[in-house]
Chain A
Amino acid sequence: KAGVTQTPRYLIKTRGQQVTLSCSPISGHRSVSWYQQTPGQGLQFLFEYFSETQRNKGNFPGRFSGRQFSNSRSEMNVSTLELGDSALYLCASSSEGPSTGELFFGEGSRLTVL
C-alpha cells in the first residue's frame, strides 16, 4: 500500500509570492490533516478535511487555505508569503480522522521564504 505522498519536497519562494502544496493520502483514507512544523516547535495544526469538507481549522491567518478533492487528495495554499512561513509542512492521513487513532504522515514539503 503506497504511503502518503507530498509534493514538492522542497521549494524556495520570495516574500509576497504564493505557494500550493499537494498531498495524496493513503488509498481509502478520507481524512487529511495539515501541520506546520518549525524548529523547536510542536506540530501546529492548520486544518483537517474529511470527504471534501473542512471539519476544523487552526489559529492561522486567512492567508493559509486548503481544499480536498473527491479522490481525497488535498492541497494547501499560502498567499502573500512572509519570512515566518518558512517551515516544514506536513500532511497526515487517516481513515476517519485525527481523533480516532493513528495518523500516517508524508515526508513533508520544506518551504523556504527569502
Chain B
Amino acid sequence: SQKIEQNSEALNIQEGKTATLTCNYTNYSPAYLQWYRQDPGRGPVFLLLIRENEKEKRKERLKVTFDTTLKQSLFHITASQPADSATYLCALGGDSNYQLIWGAGTKLIIKP
C-alpha cells in the first residue's frame, strides 16, 4: 500500500540555521507533492506545491526539492525563526482519485 514517512521525532534547530525536513514515499508515483504548515489546534496552511517534472521550488525563505528517483522530497527553511516552529505536513497526489495521501508530519522547534 502507499506509504509516506516523515521524521517522526521533533526537529530542534537553532535560530538562524537552515531547517531541513524529509518526506519519503513508497508504492506511489505522485504527479505532485505539497507541503503544509499546521499550528496546534489549527487547520493546515498550504506552503508550496512541486510537480514531478520540477526539481526545485522556492518561495521566500522556503525551498522544496522533489526527487522521483529517490522517492523523496526535502523541505528547507533558511534563516529559521522561532515563528517557524510548527508541524509540517507533506501530501502527495495527482491521480484521478480526488484525494491526497498525507504524512504524519514533523514537528519543528526553532530555539532562540
Interface residues of A (CB under 8 A from B): 4, 31, 33, 35, 40-45, 48, 50, 55-56, 58, 88, 90, 92, 97-99, 101-108, 110
The interface residues of chain B lying within 8 Å CB-to-CB of A88 are 41
The interface residues of chain B lying within 8 Å CB-to-CB of A102 are 34, 46, 49
Please give me the residue from chain B that is nearest to A110 by CB atom. Answer: B41
The docked-state distance in angstroms from the alpha carbon of A84 to that of B63 is 37
A–B Cβ pairs within 8 angstroms, 25 of them: A40-B104, A41-B104, A42-B4, A42-B89, A43-B44, A45-B99, A45-B100, A48-B98, A50-B98, A55-B98, A56-B99, A90-B43, A92-B43, A98-B93, A98-B99, A99-B98, A99-B99, A102-B46, A104-B46, A105-B43, A106-B43, A107-B41, A107-B43, A108-B42, A108-B43
Please give me the residue from chain A that is nearest to B31 by CB atom. Answer: A99
Not counting A45-B100, A56-B98, A88-B41, a sample of 10 additional A-B residue pairs whose C-beta atoms are within 8 angstroms of each other reads A42-B4, A43-B91, A43-B100, A45-B102, A48-B99, A56-B97, A99-B31, A99-B94, A99-B98, A105-B43
The docked-state distance in angstroms from the alpha carbon of A103 to that of B38 is 13
Shortest CB-to-CB span from B23 to chain A, Å, is 11
Shortest CB-to-CB span from A44 to chain B, Å, is 8
Output the residue of A43, A44, A45, A98 with the most chain B CB within 10 A.
A43
Write the B81-106 contact mask toward A (1 if CB under 8 angstroms, else 0).
Answer: 00000000101011111111011110
How large, as a class, is the contact surface on chain B?
20 to 34
Shortest CB-to-CB span from A110 to chain B, Å, is 8
The interface residues of chain B lying within 8 Å CB-to-CB of A44 are 102
The docked-state distance in angstroms from the alpha carbon of A105 to that of B90 is 15
Contact A33 B99 (CB under 8 A): yes
Shortest CB-to-CB span from A82 to chain B, Å, is 22
Shortest CB-to-CB span from B82 to chain A, Å, is 23
Contact A103 B42 (CB under 8 A): no
The 6 A-B residue pairs with the shortest CB-CB distance, nearest first, are A105-B43, A42-B102, A43-B102, A56-B98, A42-B104, A102-B46
